[in-house]
A and B are shown apart, each in its own frame.
Chain A
């Protein structure tokens, strides 16, 4: 699904605020929500992240994030002086996702991109409110004990209430 942006009603207090719905848990898709949340917090916004479906495991104590090459046709990596993609058929080969993940991690390290773990730590330190979707917890058999310290439980109504009070609401 495409990321969509909606402008909520103007904030009533002095502090501006943002909410993000985090729905994806691959290595690449873990970045946008954490980058935006930490930056917004650094710029003085009050930030709320709602973790649901495949975004929920981003709250697990131990992250082992991987890329998915399947159905990711626009993913082209710098290789041999150009940019190369991977046909979907090749994504079926065992070990391809592992290899692509390794390549992405090497690129990120070379280019000075922070790890998702580090960004998550910054989010916690900067007081970002983390909400774990209760329904997804039930669905995938997780409890708060599986998660880092910090998240609270909530459902759709919790998120909607938050969203009505935020200046920026993002779905990622």
Chain B
């Protein structure tokens, strides 16, 4: 169970990323954020976001129609 949940279903690019970044700012290092999204572009985008920011991407469920990501805030 992640420390925080973010429901970004129905939102289109770039809002899932923008909202995830905001939610991560509220977390302490090491805490996790679960994101649910329906934007198919978010599968590639969350991986790029994690690579660029250094936040961990612990889980990706890319089966759809609801995509699930678990991010871990970096130190």
Contacts and interface: CB of A to CB of B under 8 A. Distances in A.
Interface in A112-154: 112-114, 119, 122
Contact of A35 (B10, B13, B39): B13
A95 B33 CA distance: 47
A113 B10 CA distance: 9
Nearest to A122: B18
Contacts of A35: 13-14
Contacts of B48: 43
Interface residues of A, number: 12
B17 interface: yes
Max chain A C-beta neighbours (<10 A), residue from B13, B14, B49: B14
B15 A114 contact: yes
A42 B13 contact: no
A12 interface: no
B15 A43 contact: no
A83 interface: no
Given A42-B17, A112-B38, 7 more contacts: A35-B14, A39-B17, A42-B21, A43-B17, A111-B12, A114-B12, A114-B14
Interface of A: 35, 38-39, 42-44, 111-114, 119, 122
